[in-house]
Amino acid sequence: MRIAVSSDMDEPVARLLVEELRGRGHEVLPHGALRPGADARWAVCSERAAREVADGRADQAVVCCWTGTGASIAANKVPGVRAALCADAYTADGARRWNDANVLALSLRLTSAPLLGEILDAWFAGGPSEDAEDRDNVTRVERLDRGRTAP
């Protein structure tokens, strides 16, 4: 799987994230502080990673900043992206299952090495729900991306 990864800081957890993803057999497309010479501002690098997903150049993305909040906000501004800020494995599983999230947002401050592994395990083990209500919710969010709402 091709995964775009961005971080606004060259932190140990960001480097570990890239190492973990590659160790799991994924191709990593680095952005921000993970790519020498790239713009590392969280809004810029998170948007660029999210656009890789929206444009079909990456299957998923992981965006990081100190709290994870800014990275998730920036990624969610890109149409077609459903970014979820996940601080634990349960949230990561639910984001994939109920929200069909395609971008994982992480906090560089709160994510430890063991927690990172648990979150990634849950994220990659999960997939979108086939439940009609869950699919209807995702479809509604997709309509919102296009500036439309449904009754």
Spatial distance between the Cα atoms of 61 and 42, rounded to a whole number of angstroms = 14
pLDDT in tens, 8-65: 999 999 999 999 999 999 999 999 999 999 999 999 999 999 999 999 999 999 999 9
User: Can you list the domains of the chain with their CATH numbers?
Assistant: 2-145 (3.40.1400.10)
pTM for this model (two decimals):
0.93
How many residues can be counted in the chain? 151
Which residue of the set 45, 64, 65, 86 is catalytic? 65
Let me know if 64 is a catalytic residue. no
- Per DSSP, the three-state class of 61 is strand
Question: 96 or 133: whose pLDDT is higher?
Answer: 96
- Per DSSP, the three-state class of 42 is helix
Average pLDDT of the residues of the chain: 95
Which residues on adjacent β-strands are paired with residue 61? 4, 103
